[in-house]
Every structure is written in C-alpha cells, then in structure tokens.
Amino acid sequence: MYAIVEIAGKQFKVSKAQWLYTPKLQSEVGALLTFDKVLLLDDEAGAVTLGTPMLNGVTITAKVLAHTKADKVIVFKKKRRNGYKVKRGHRQAHTRIVIEDIIN
C-alpha cells in the first residue's frame, strides 16, 4: 500500500514505516502530524484511486524524528583575469519523519 502525498509544497510517494526527508516543518521533535493532501492511493488489492485533485477522507499520519541539515553545497564563482573569486556554502534545512499509518 502506498500513497502520493503533498507535504510542504512537494509531492512524495510514501508507504507505512518509511523514513522521509521533507523540507523543514514547524513542528517539535516527537510530534504527530497528519497530512490530508493525498493525490493518489494504491491499496493492498492493487486498486488505484486517483483524486481530482485531492482524495477526500484519506489521511496520512507521521511522527517527527529530527530536524537536520543536508550536506553542504559549495558555490564558487570566478571571473578570469579580474581577481574576482567568491566561495559560498549552503546547507538546506530538512525534517526527518516516519510514516506511521495511511488511513483510508
């Protein structure tokens, strides 16, 4: 059983007991979250239900495990023969969640 859900403006394919890195969510560690923007649901029998655009009555519960940062991305700019060099780094903030249940 899996579902396609929209979390923080991005779409994810989720199943039960799956760990997932999402864009940073404003929730405490250990908090339970419910997502109701489910776009597609595939049950155990293989029947696919497609929402137009969302499915009514289907929710996904998840638990926040941690707030982390991604690996550093280095941005280096240089212009030849001008003495111009800029080196910057960026680390995107993520939230790690685990999908606990898909309620149909």
Kindly report the pTM of this predicted structure: 0.80
Q: Which residue has the tokens 């394919």?
A: 13
Q: Give the CB-side neighbour count of residue 21, counting CA atoms within 13 A.
A: 8
Per-residue pLDDT of the chain (104 residues; tens, 9 = 90+): 899 999 999 999 999 999 999 999 999 999 999 999 999 999 888 899 898 889 999 999 999 999 999 999 999 999 999 999 999 999 999 999 999 999 88
Total of domains in the chain: 1
Query: Which domain covers residue 15, as residue numbers?
Result: 2-103
What's the gap between Cα 94 and its chain centre? Answer: 8
